[in-house]
């Protein structure tokens, strides 16, 4: 039986994808796992080289960019594992990471989602777990006003906590989260109304509504080559998508302004 299904949504970063896949297969493990990559209509020939190199990986090549949530759902529908690890292609894992995360989920049956400690390539901590926000806090972050009004955003990002212990949290970012298949089947897949951004918050919110717990696991560390393009001071496509997803989140769950 396949214990873990690793789901990767890829778009235009074949070199990082190859690095991620190499790290997943770097050392043998007794844990049975599969890897499914959904490509959102990337261009260029480099991806084909990655496909040829990793014959044991299942690749789904979409003809159009359907967005992160929809692509994740395509892969989850193909999964055979009891746990689903949603993993960004710009991550690098260490041997033992996914067996340790699965072991934690196995011994904590009420946990529906778990996210590891994320670090930048230089080893600096990346804030990857959150408190549920107020709408005003997300607006401050999107429009970069948190440079002037710090406290609400620091609280939202849990920057007031050292991230050095295993802790129940409100939500963890979808770039690296392990989901219990049973829990996902109960609450439903990612909401495809989010092209990108906040689909992870929405999923964790729905898990909490059904009594599942969400945890941050400080003892497992994953490198994440993260670039927050939506935070550019000038308007761009990413900031537009970010704002659109925020609007969808607000209408779906009725977030309060303050």
pLDDT at 230 over 50: no
CB contact set of 45 (below 8 Å; sequence gap of 6+): none
Taking the domains of the chain in order of start, what are their residue ranges?
4-133+162-229
Angle between helices 68-78 and 199-209 (to 10 degrees): 60
> Which residues, in sequence order, are bridge partners of residue 115?
216
Question: Mean pLDDT over residues 71-98, rounded?
Answer: 95
Q: Which of 59-63, 130-134, 142-146 has the lowest mean pLDDT?
A: 142-146
Distance CA 38, CA 61 (A): 6
Confidence of residue 84 (pLDDT cuts 50, 70, 90): very high
Cβ 171 vs Cβ 130: under 8 Å: yes
How buried is 126 (Cβ within 10 angstroms: 0-12 exposed, 13-18 middle, 19+ buried)?
middle
CA-based torsion, 183, 62, 58, 42: positive or negative: negative
Pairing label, strands 171-172, 129-130:
antiparallel
Distance CA 129, CA 45 (A): 36
Nearest to 167 by CA among 155, 158, 176: 158
Pairing label, strands 176-180, 111-119:
antiparallel
pLDDT on residue 60: 97
pLDDT on residue 142: 67
Pairing label, strands 33-40, 58-62:
parallel
CATH architecture of 4-133+162-229: Alpha-Beta Complex (3.90)
Distance CA 231, CA 50 (A): 30
Confidence of residue 69 (pLDDT cuts 50, 70, 90): very high
Instruction: Pick 124 or 243 by higher pLDDT.
Output: 124
- pLDDT tens figures, 32-67: 999 999 999 999 889 999 999 999 999 999 999 999
Distance CA 222, CA 116 (A): 7
Q: What are phi and psi of 71, to 5 degrees?
A: -65, -40
CA-based torsion, 238, 243, 249, 251: positive or negative: negative
pTM of the model: 0.92
- pLDDT tens figures, 231-242: 444 456 777 787
């Amino acid at each position: 039986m396949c214990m873990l299904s690793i789901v990767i949504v890829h778009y235009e970063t074949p070199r990082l994808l190859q690095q991620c896949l190499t790290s997943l297969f770097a050392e043998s493990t007794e844990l049975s796992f599969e890897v499914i990559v959904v490509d959102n209509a990337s261009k260029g020939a480099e991806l084909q080289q990655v496909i040829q190199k990793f014959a044991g990986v299942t690749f789904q090549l979409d003809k159009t960019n359907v967005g992160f949530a929809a692509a994740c759902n395509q892969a989850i529908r193909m999964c055979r594992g009891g746990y689903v690890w949603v993993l960004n292609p710009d991550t690098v894992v260490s041997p033992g990471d996914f067996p340790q995360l699965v072991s934690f989920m196995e011994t904590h049956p009420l946990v529906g989602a778990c996210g590891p400690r994320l670090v930048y390539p230089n080893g600096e901590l990346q804030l990857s777990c959150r408190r549920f926000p107020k709408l005003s806090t997300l607006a401050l972050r999107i429009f970069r006003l948190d440079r002037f009004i710090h406290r609400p955003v620091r609280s939202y990002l849990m920057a007031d906590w050292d991230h050095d212990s295993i802790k129940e949290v409100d939500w963890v970012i979808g770039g690296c989260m392990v989901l219990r298949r049973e829990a996902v089947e109960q609450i439903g897949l990612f909401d495809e109304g989010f092209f990108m951004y906040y689909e992870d918050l929405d999923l964790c919110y729905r898990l909490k509504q059904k009594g599942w717990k969400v945890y941050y696991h400080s003892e497992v560390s994953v490198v994440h080559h993260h670039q927050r393009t939506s935070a550019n001071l000038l308007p761009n496509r990413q900031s537009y998508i970010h704002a659109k997803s925020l609007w969808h989140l607000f209408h779906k769950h009725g977030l309060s302004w303050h």
